[in-house]
Amino acid sequence: MKKLLSILLCALIAGSCVLTGCGADNSSPESSDSSSNSASSDSSDPISGIEATASTDKYRNFYQIFVNSFCDSNGDQIGDLQGIISQLDYLNDGDPNTGDDLGIDGIWLTPIMPSKSYHKYDVENYYDIDPDFGTLEDFEQLVSECHRRGIKLIIDLVLNHISSQNPLYKKAVEEVAENKLDGNAEYFEIHETSYFGSDTQVNVLSNGYACEANFSHDMPEWNLNSEKTREEFTKIAKFWLDKGVDGFRLDACKYYTNKSTDGTEFLKWFYDTCKTINPDVYMVGENWSDDSDIKDLYKSGIDSQFAFKFAQTSGTIVESLNTQSGSGLVKKLISYENKMRESNENEINAMFLSNHDQVRIANALEPKGLDTEKFAASVYMLFPGNPYIYYGEEIGTKAESTSSDAYYRTAMVFDSDNLPNIYVNTIGEDTVAPTGGGVKQQLEDEDSLLNFYRRIIKIKNQNPEIARGKITGQQNFDDKQIGAFYTEYDGSKLMIIHNFNGSDSKELTITDDMIKNAVVRADLVTTDTETHVELKDGKLTFPAHSTVILKSAE
């Protein structure tokens, strides 16, 4: 989590950005899996008749939900857990072959624990649900409903810092005032003021002491090397894992270090501790540092870390779209994967386009056309690993301003004919629907961005090699606009080919040395075009901004 807004701004935005009365079922029996973006919409569609299989392992298509902006079940203009429950059939109806849902099988919830701020990254109580969101009973119901649909649920866990209003910290402040430093003070980075450099932000205490607080003076930092802290973290992890959560998104793990330990040692301790509680626990870390730091943290054994360099409106994926450099993007991805697997051979890459700290990706892509939005989704979703879809990304939600994080956490629009209201006296604007409409409208449009995302995930569920495979090589076609690579899993190989040219179709020669007796296993075509996907006599023809997946017929 990047440096947050001031507490004042956090309070101002607290009630914004959610849909009142969004509990209606948005799954659509009339809307089947979109095939219009394929070579055809009839039985010649290559994905027709292929069985999709639900995941039973850690490989998932994750969906990030900023809880208070997703769905409001009680009309108080704040999203809540019951609101999420009401929309689970939209995300996953429990059957990967119906085609009537998005296909999400993993959910990441931003912080849900009690906090005065709207973002909840300053936790006052690690053992409860913020009353704005519901109760522990609501959470237990959410876990049960997720698991019934085959969805794994992970929650944001903030271990770098705490709220200054947390009882453990308040007690530490009282004890320091009495010159007692061997009690609660040991939980936190409390030292004499002279200990800290001039560039370190602190929470000033009494008697010449302060606590490190780099994100905000109201968010003092834990002492991660303290045995007391680690005992507390063990209790916290057990509490939530016993509630049924499947793992954690670890906030700010870039900062898991102090004078006595480094981030890798602490993260290994925490990951190993959680595995003793749930051997199948899944963890993904937020680390927006450079490759070397990410590589070091993978030595901890953590499953995933977000691939920040490829994301954001200025990241490698958008840059490659702008320059139409498909081969260059694949080369960079392979280099990144190879480096990370030197530290952890079981690493599961976590690709994404945007998140709650970044400008909505549609702000950068929508002006370039719907085909570009679709193609970007195809590119990042089809790399091996676990992709993370930021809620609303699948319908092209934009930020109405790029002036602060609060605007990036905009309302989810389920029905653009019934827009959610925000507090207009707070930021002066009403919610604006995505260009293609809300969920309801896009389900009815077979060429929508939402239906394109649904097709991508269905293809992934039909082809486990995509997520689970290791990239075994790049296929060069003497064309920098083509991004092609092989992924292999369990003895099966696919070749995934992207055409990064936004206006021209391509014709490629496919030989048996590449894929023996190749057939088109799946395709993703972003616009209506006279050029169709065709593989005939070793010649593959496919349109601009389209993707083809080849597999051996044998």
User: Can you read off the two tokens belonging to residue 221?
Assistant: 């930092």
d(CA 531, CA 507): 11
d(CA 94, CA 105): 9
d(CA 304, CA 325): 26
Count CA within 13 A, CB hemisphere, residue 238: 9
| Residue of 285, 164, 276 whose CA lies nearest to 221 | 164
β-partners of residue 283 are: 248
Longest alpha-carbon distance in the chain: 84
Phi/psi of residue 65, nearest 5 degrees:
-115, 115
| Residue of 407, 287, 309 whose CA lies nearest to 353 | 309
d(CA 249, CA 254): 13
Annotated catalytic residue 251? yes
Catalytic residue among 156, 286, 303, 405: 286
d(CA 541, CA 539): 6
- The radius of gyration of the chain from alpha carbons, rounded to an integer in Å, stands at 24
Catalytic residue among 33, 72, 138, 251: 251
| Residue of 397, 511, 461 whose CA lies nearest to 69 | 397
CA dihedral 316, 317, 321, 325 (to 10 degrees): 60
d(CA 411, CA 62): 19
Annotated catalytic residue 286? yes
In 145-221, at which residue ranges do the beta strands (DSSP E only) sit? 152-157, 190-192, 202-204, 209-212
β-pairing, 247-250 vs 282-285, is parallel
β-partners of residue 508 are: 540
Collapse the DSSP code of 3 into the 3-class scheme (helix H, G, I; strand E, B; otherwise coil) and give the result.
coil
Contact present, 261 and 225 (Cβ < 8 Å): yes
* Positions marked active-site: 251, 286
